[in-house]
Amino acid sequence: MYFLYILFGVIFSASAQEFVEPAFVVEPYPKWYVGQRVRRDVTFDKQIGDGKVFGTLGQNDKGLFGKGGYEHQIFNDHRGTLNAQAYGTRVLGPAGDSSHLGGALNWKNPNAAASFDISKQIHGGTSVSTSTFNKTIGST
């Protein structure tokens, strides 16, 4: 009995749908525009006080990606230059998606440089990297 109700419901709903001839369908875009969309990356970079807000959105064959963050110059004097950065990224792809949060400290002066970077994948591991560079001063 239920089968008959379902059968009649499908028949009535299919017959009640509006049929539009293909000649009367209006294309929302002009013919010259269809198919001309190209890959586009959107980048944002704005100076705010001693810092800078940056971001980018884009796509490639592996999927969609986005990165945004803030970079701040803590000092720039006789001690050298110290910059700090905080950022986040998001990647969407056919194999899955991932989110990362991170930060970095970069210090340099004319004789040496050092950096510290930490990154955390959401629901994943944490990575930490450091590097230093010392210039050798030759004697005359």
89 belongs to a structural domain? yes
2 belongs to a structural domain? no
Q: 6 in helix, strand or coil?
A: helix
Condensed to tens digits (0 to 9), the pLDDT of residues 38-57 reads 656 688 899 988 889 999 98
17 belongs to a structural domain? no
Q: Which residues are registered as beta bridge partners of 105? A: 84, 116
59 belongs to a structural domain? yes
Lowest-confidence range among 28-32, 36-40, 56-60?
36-40
78 belongs to a structural domain? yes
Closest by CA position to 101, among listed 114, 120, 126: 120
3-state helix vs strand vs coil in the chain, percent to 5: 15, 55, 30
20 belongs to a structural domain? no
In degrees to the nearest 10, what's the CA dihedral of 90, 93, 95, 97? 20
25 belongs to a structural domain? no
User: Could you give the number of structural domains in the chain?
Assistant: 1
* Domain boundaries, position 107: 41-134
58 belongs to a structural domain? yes
